[in-house]
Structure 1
Amino acid sequence: MSTTTPARPRPSAPGSTPAGERKPGGRTSGEGRMAAMLLSPTLLVLALVIAYPLISAVHQSLFRESSGLDENGFVAQGETFVGLGNYADLFVGETGARFLNALANTTFFTLTTVALETVLGLCLALAMNRAFRGRAFLRASILIPWAIPTAVSGLLWRWIFQSDGIANNLIGSEILWTAEGFQAKAAVIIAEVWKTAPFIGLLVLAGMQIIPEEVYEAARIDGAGWWRQLGSITLPLVKPTLLVAVLFRLLDALRMFDLPFVLIGPGKRSVETLSMLAWDESNQLRYGSASAFAVILFLYVALVAIVFVKLLGADVAGTKEVRALRKVGRARKAKAV
């Protein structure tokens, strides 16, 4: 009687993955290739609309428009390579004074408007989350300012802040809101908060909608009042959504251009932002310095985003949820084994 010896499995090459076996990341090589193919159009579009303009701006910021006489005595115009000369000019002379003023205005508008919008947006979300008759009408009316285009909103508030406008009639005084001074800053802040506070309110409301009602019922049974529920349940559970909303508003406010441009006008030192300064330089055909302003603004926005995400833990890409799901999946596989 003959016996057969089972064949031993052939050893695989070092570093190779057997067919049908998943890699440590949880996906096969075929899935990785398919994911790369599906993402390639998006990455190509991002490279065309983000990477190429950024590289072009950095390249342009290294040159400066110059004019003079050539060897034949004729006027010659062109670009001269100056290296970091445009960046060095940001801190000296008249250009440096305008840059520091624009940087201060941008930071002031960002901090002030985002802080007010966060408080007001949270209040709007709490109001829209309550169950009462006419709640749908309240939600629609709150979202109207955010739906209005910024240029139209600027013209609307410019009409309100005229010398004989509604604002001066209500306060019984004649303030030149659209002239130089702190009143111009106040006008921009009021218009910006009125327009974009509903955006934060809408995102916070979406976060409140996913909080289970059973949590509030258990808190009421334990004797917790409205303020205790707000501080112990609503705010902690809505914090991730609120942080993402604040981050989006920070990045948007740092690039503020259209509202002060339409409401107050260009060339006003009290409301000139970095975006307005870059536009003014490009309008004067000084593309090198305009590109330098744009690059500095990009670095400023990127720095704020990185610091905000690292310090406050705003999970913009949803990586925390992905890690939690992977951890749960590994735990289930371990239990099954």
Structure 2
Amino acid sequence: MTTEVESAAAPSSGRLAARDRRRRKSPQAAAVARLAGMLVSPTLLVLGLVVVYPIVAALRQSLFTEGQGVDAEGFVVEGEQFAGLGNYAEVFTGPAAARFWNAMWNTTFFTTTTVVLEAALGVAMALIMHRAFRGRGLVRASVLVPWAIPTAVSALLWRWIFASDGVVNAMLGTQVLWSADGGPAKLAVIVAEVWKTAPFVGLLVLAGLQVIPRDVFEAARVDGATAWQRFAHITLPLVRPALLVAVLFRMLDSLRMFDLPFVLIGQQKESVETLSMLAWQEATNVRYGPAAAYATIMFCYVAVVAFAFVKLLGADLLGEARSQVKSARRTRKAVA
């Protein structure tokens, strides 16, 4: 009977001891939490000023209109007036709806096309730069040049190349107006965008390739795996995290494309007008309410695409961190 009482009392005493240890550590943990809050607060303040405040201000501005109008009693009213969802209704169903849907289609088309081409070319460039050959350092340095050139400067360079008497027409022996409105303008924007940003994807994929042990490839080669089998079953799965991050960054950047088509082709060109260009056009016409509505819609579109990409393709880094924290907490509770 005494043995049973002692065995029943042992777990309770162990739990009490663990609880006392946690109580003794609580002042130190509180001090660490306060220090962490003090160190993080400047970053949170900056993020609030440059991220949260513009979003809230744009959302608020999208609910108002500016200018001169007539109220319900027939009096002329000037200045800012509350419009509710009127700006959004005008965007989707008003006279400018066709222009909005065209800009939405152009944005989606440019994003899908350029990101797919950049991913394919970036992986190919990374595989080439990963090989050991004479002049590899020079090749890696030269790949950075297109990405390092400012977008406006590269757009001016490609505008000269795609001119009516430029290099492209001279090589093809044609007289295509690449900077005019239409399909050639779309192709010019895609070529210039892929040329500039494919090296970014290649460098990130190259960083992922360099952490793969060579023993894995040697073992696969000894087992008789072909080059395609090694790429499909070893290289691509192991480099997938770096490739997903590169593709995600490029998607977020392409969805807000503005400067390249604006400088290369020009404004108010139906074939290359994007959501960012449409919002800029409304803002320059002092129609800040519709401009803010376009910007808010674009922000929601980018957020939805990023969330879907992260969830569907498994690049949920935040979710992995949460699971690791939960498993660590369960381990500590089990030990206690």
TM-score, normalised with respect to structure 1: 0.87
- In the TM superposition, what is the alpha-carbon distance from 1:234 to its structure 2 partner? 0.6
* AA partner of residue 90 (structure 1): V
SS of the aligned residue for 1:79 comes to strand
1:3 alignment counterpart: none
CA displacement at 1:141 relative to structure 2: 1.5
Partner of 1:47: 48
Write the distance in 2 (CA, Å) between the matches of 1:16 and 1:139: 55
Q: Deviations over 1:165-196 (max 9, x none)?
A: 00100111000001010110000000000000
Q: Is 2:282 the partner of 1:277?
A: no
On the 8 A contact 1:240/1:315 being kept in 2, the answer is no
Q: How does 1:18-33 map to 2 (within 5 A)?
A: 18-20=23-25, 28-33=29-34
> Matched residues in 1 for 2:252 and 2:20: separation?
44
Between Structure 1 and Structure 2, the one with more helix by share is 2
Is there any run of 5+ residues in structure 1 with no aligned partner, and where? 1-7
Residue 292 (structure 2) aligns with? 291
Cα 1:233/1:324, change in 2 over 3 Å: farther
Aligned equivalent of 2:320: 320
Q: Which residue of 1 aligns with 2:4?
A: none
**Per-residue Cα deviation, 1:137-169 (whole angstroms, up to 9, x for no partner):** 111111210011000000000000000000100
Percent identity over the alignment is 60
Residues 161, 147 of structure 1: alpha-carbon distance in 2 compared, 3 angstrom cutoff = same
Counterpart for residue 119 of structure 1? 120
Q: Deviations over 1:182-233 (max 9, x none)?
A: 1100000000000000000010000011111111121122122221111111
Q: 2: distance between equivalents of 1:309 and 1:15? A: 42
Q: Distance in 1 between matches of 2:322 and 2:222?
A: 34
Match for residue 90 of structure 1?
91
Q: 1:315: how far off?
A: 3.8
Q: Mapping of 1:146-295 within 5 angstroms?
A: 146-295=147-296
Q: 1:176/1:217 Cα in 2 relative to 1: closer, same or farther (>3 Å)?
A: same
Cα distance in structure 1, aligned partners of 2:228 and 2:193: 29
* Amino acid paired to 1:237: L
Return the alpha-carbon distance in structure 1 between the equivalents of residues 85 and 20 of structure 2: 47
SS across alignment from 1:94? coil
Number of corresponding residues: 320
Deviation at 1:327, TM superposition (A): 4.8
SS of corresponding position for 2:67: strand
**Distance change >3 Å, CA 64–CA 15, structure 1 → 2:** farther
What letter corresponds to residue 226 of structure 2 in structure 1?
A: G
Q: Take 1:320 and 1:204, find their aligned partners in 2: how far apart are those partners? A: 21
- Give the equivalent residue in structure 1 for 2:312: 311
Which runs of structure 1 show a deviation greater than 6 angstroms over 4 or more consecutive aligned residues? 328-334
Q: What does residue 81 of structure 1 align with? A: 82
Find the aligned partners of 2:124 and 2:326 in 1 and give their Cα distance. Answer: 36
Report how far residue 86 of structure 1 moved.
Answer: 0.1
Deviation at 1:298, TM superposition (A): 0.2
**Whole-angstrom distance in 2 between the partners of 1:178 and 1:29:** 63
Post-superposition offset of 1:112: 0.5
Distance 1:238 1:302 in 2: 25
CA shift, 1:44, in A, is 0.4
Query: What's the offset of the Cα at 1:94?
Result: 2.8
* Distance in 1 separating the partners of 2:305 and 2:118: 18
Partner residue in 1 for 2:7 = none
Aligned-residue CA RMSD in angstroms? 2.9
Is the CA contact (8 Å cut-off) linking 1:90 and 1:99 kept in structure 2? yes
SS in 2 for 1:66: strand
Deviation at residue 30 of structure 1 after TM alignment:
2.5
One-letter amino acid of the counterpart of residue 189, structure 2: V
Q: Normalising by structure 2, report the TM-score.
A: 0.88
The reply to whether residue 136 of structure 1 matches residue 137 of structure 2 is yes
Equivalents in 2 of 1:135, 1:106: separation in Å? 36
> Secondary structure of the equivalent of 1:80?
strand
User: What CA distance in whole angstroms lies between the structure 1 residues aligned with 2:333 and 2:143?
Assistant: 48
| Alignment gaps of 5+ in structure 2 | 1-12
